[in-house]
Amino acid sequence: MRRTLLAIILALMATEPACAGAWLREKGTGFVAATTTVHRLDKYAYEYKSSLYLEWGAFERVTLGLDVNEHQGLSGHALLFARLPIHDFGKAGRFAAELGAGAYHWQTTWAPMYKATLSYGKGLNTGWGNGWIAVDTALEYRTNQPLIRKLDLTTGLSSGRLLDPLLQVETSYVPGKPFYWSVTPSLIYRPKLLKSTWVLGIEQNALKSQPGLKIALWRDF
């Protein structure tokens, strides 16, 4: 247990998906998210994955970003991307597109990767407060591998309360491999004395029989 806590703390300090979608950052502002997910394999063994997500409003109509992911030192990627608006339908929502390029690795071997994403986002007004829903569909090409198709959904409340709910659903399909999915219900925690937002969730995915613990730290700057 001590090793697990240490791994979580180190990952949060060193790095951490967080909130992509159809919204652009205002010029000169940014957002960073550090995330660690831990799954228990047996009584003494744990598996973890961590990510660092950063986006910055470089121009009024261009948001630049960095997406870094690492899974137990065996696989991971680093991706630079640019997000551009497509159209704003007002209350009906908005569309944006992302183009990304970077590299991925398996063990010590690295190769180029490219990603194209179409995102839809819409603000929500509910009886429990304001919120949002975001749908991201992506094509990801990794050198010497089949094309990866992804479809993700994120929805939550942003009422400003101490606690708000968040739901993340991620799916991906690679030809010749089983369909992958993960579902993560979470609580968003906003301490009044801190400028950071904490997210605590339980992840269940297609590869694990037992759920894992997901901890994220979000911060605007």
Task: For residue 49, give both structure tokens.
Answer: 């994955």
pLDDT above 70 (res 13): no
Burial of 103 (0-12, 13-18, 19+ CB in 10 A): middle
Task: For residue 6, give both structure tokens.
Answer: 């240490």
Q: Which of 15-19, 79-83, 149-153, 164-168 has the lowest mean pLDDT?
A: 15-19
Cα torsion angle, 10, 165, 158, 133, sign: positive
111 Ramachandran zone, left/alpha/beta (phi>0; psi -120 to 50):
beta
Q: Please choose, from the candidates 33, 47, 42, the residue with its C-alpha nearest in 3D space to the C-alpha of residue 75.
A: 47
Angle at 217 between CA 214 and CA 218, to 5 degrees: 125
Distance, in Å, from the CA atom of 83 to the CA atom of 62, rounded to the nearest integer, reads 6
Go through 108-136 and write b for each residue having 16 or more CB atoms within 10 A of its CB, e for each that does not. Answer: eeeeebebebebbbbeeeeeeeebbbbbb
Q: Report pLDDT digits (tens) over 64-116.
A: 999 999 998 889 999 999 999 999 999 999 999 999 999 999 999 999 999 99
Q: Please choose, from the candidates 87, 79, 76, 35, the residue with its C-alpha nearest in 3D space to the C-alpha of residue 55.
A: 79
Q: Global pTM?
A: 0.85
What is the greatest pairwise CA distance in the chain?
52
Q: Report pLDDT digits (tens) over 24-61.
A: 999 999 999 999 999 988 878 889 999 999 999 999 99
Distance, in Å, from the CA atom of 121 to the CA atom of 75, rounded to the nearest integer, reads 30
Cβ(56)–Cβ(81) below 8 Å? no
pLDDT the model gives residue 20? 58
